[in-house]
A = this chain, B = another copy of it.
Amino acid sequence: MASDDFHVYDTTLRDGMQQEGLSPSVADKLAIARHLDGLAVGFIEGGWPGANPKDTEFFKRAQTELDLKHAQLAAFGMTRRSGVKAADDPLVAALRESGAPIVTIVAKAHPRHVDLALKTDLRENLEMWRDTVTHLVAEGRRVFVDAEHFFDGYLLDREYALECVRTAVEAGASLVALCDTNGGMLPNQIGDAVADVIATTSARVGIHCHDDSGCAVANSLAAIDAGATHVQGAANGYGERTGNANLFTVVANLQLKKGRKVVPDEALAEMTRIAHAISEVTNVVPYSKQPYVGFSAFAHKAGIHASALKADPDLYQHIDPAVVGNDMRVLVSEMAGRSNIELKGRQLGYDLSADRDAVARITERVKELESRGHSFEAADASFELLLCSELEGPQSTEFFTVETWRVIVEQTADGRHVSEATVKIHAKGERIIATGEGNGPVNALDTALRQALGQLYPDLARLELVDYKVRILEGDHGTASRTRVLIETGNGEDNWSTIGVEENIVAASWTAIVDAVTYGLLRAQR
CA distance A181 to B317 in the complex (A): 9
A63 on the interface (CB 8 Å rule)? no
CA distance A280 to B412 in the complex (A): 32
Check if A467 sits within 8 Å of B475, measured CB to CB. Answer: yes
Given A411-B404, A480-B439, CB of A217 within 8 Å of CB of B212: no
Contacts of A470 in B (CB 8 A): 470-472, 505
Given A294-B242, A308-B113, CB of A217 within 8 Å of CB of B221: no
A3 on the interface (CB 8 Å rule)? no
CB distance from A440 to the nearest CB of B (A): 4
A466 on the interface (CB 8 Å rule)? yes
- 0/1 string, A395-419, CB within 8 A of B gives 1: 0000000111111111111000101
Contacts of A377 in B (CB 8 A): 20-21
A346 on the interface (CB 8 Å rule)? no
Given A221-B187, A289-B211, CB of A113 within 8 Å of CB of B20: no
Contacts of A212 in B (CB 8 A): 291-292, 297, 318
Contacts of A287 in B (CB 8 A): 287
Taking CB as reference atom, which chain B residue is nearest A422?
A: B410
A1 on the interface (CB 8 Å rule)? no
CB distance from A387 to the nearest CB of B (A): 20
CB distance from A369 to the nearest CB of B (A): 13
- 0/1 string, A196-227, CB within 8 A of B gives 1: 00000000000000011111011101100100
Category for how many chain A residues contact B? 35 or more
Contacts of A230 in B (CB 8 A): none
Check if B502 sits within 8 Å of A242, measured CB to CB. Answer: no
Given A242-B297, A289-B243, A475-B468, CB of A406 within 8 Å of CB of B408: yes
Check if B117 sits within 8 Å of A307, measured CB to CB. Answer: yes
CA distance A308 to B249 in the complex (A): 32
| Chain B CB within 10 Å, residue with most, of A441, A483, A507 | A507
Check if B246 sits within 8 Å of A20, measured CB to CB. Answer: no
Check if A218 sits within 8 Å of B301, measured CB to CB. Answer: no
| Contact among B308, B441, B467 for A116, CB-based, below 8 A | B308
Given A25-B473, A240-B300, A297-B212, CB of A186 within 8 Å of CB of B417: no
Q: Quick check: which of A67-75, A127-135, A329-337 contacts chain B, the rest being far away?
A: A329-337
Check if A503 sits within 8 Å of B184, measured CB to CB. Answer: no
A123 on the interface (CB 8 Å rule)? no
Contacts of A241-269 to chain B: CB distance below 8 A: 241-243, 246, 249-250, 252-253, 257-258
Contacts of A300 in B (CB 8 A): 240-241
Copies in the complex: 2
Given A291-B212, A375-B23, A419-B504, CB of A117 within 8 Å of CB of B404: no
Contacts of A411 in B (CB 8 A): 402, 404-406, 507, 510
A277 on the interface (CB 8 Å rule)? no
A298 on the interface (CB 8 Å rule)? yes
| Contact among B19, B246, B333 for A23, CB-based, below 8 A | B333
Contacts of A4-31 to chain B: CB distance below 8 A: 18-21, 23, 25-27
CA distance A477 to B412 in the complex (A): 28
CA distance A23 to B334 in the complex (A): 9
Check if B335 sits within 8 Å of A52, measured CB to CB. Answer: yes
Given A116-B308, A405-B411, CB of A20 within 8 Å of CB of B301: yes
Contacts of A510 in B (CB 8 A): 411
Given A26-B474, A186-B253, A287-B287, CB of A406 within 8 Å of CB of B417: no
| Contact among B78, B257, B475 for A466, CB-based, below 8 A | B475
Check if A311 sits within 8 Å of B116, measured CB to CB. Answer: yes
Given A317-B182, A440-B503, CB of A413 within 8 Å of CB of B409: no
CA distance A154 to B301 in the complex (A): 25
Check if A296 sits within 8 Å of B241, measured CB to CB. Answer: yes
CA distance A409 to B422 in the complex (A): 11
Given A117-B308, A242-B290, CB of A253 within 8 Å of CB of B410: no
Contacts of A184 in B (CB 8 A): 257, 318-319
A348 on the interface (CB 8 Å rule)? no
Taking CB as reference atom, which chain B residue is nearest A294?
A: B242
Not counting A78-B304, A241-B298, A242-B289, a sample of 4 additional A-B residue pairs whose C-beta atoms are within 8 angstroms of each other reads A186-B218, A211-B291, A404-B410, A409-B441
A–B pairs, 14, beta carbons within 8 Å: A19-B289, A20-B378, A23-B333, A117-B315, A186-B258, A214-B291, A240-B301, A241-B300, A407-B408, A409-B409, A441-B441, A441-B504, A464-B477, A464-B478
Ranked nearest first, the 3 interchain pairs of A and B with the lowest CB-CB distance are A184-B318, A218-B218, A406-B410
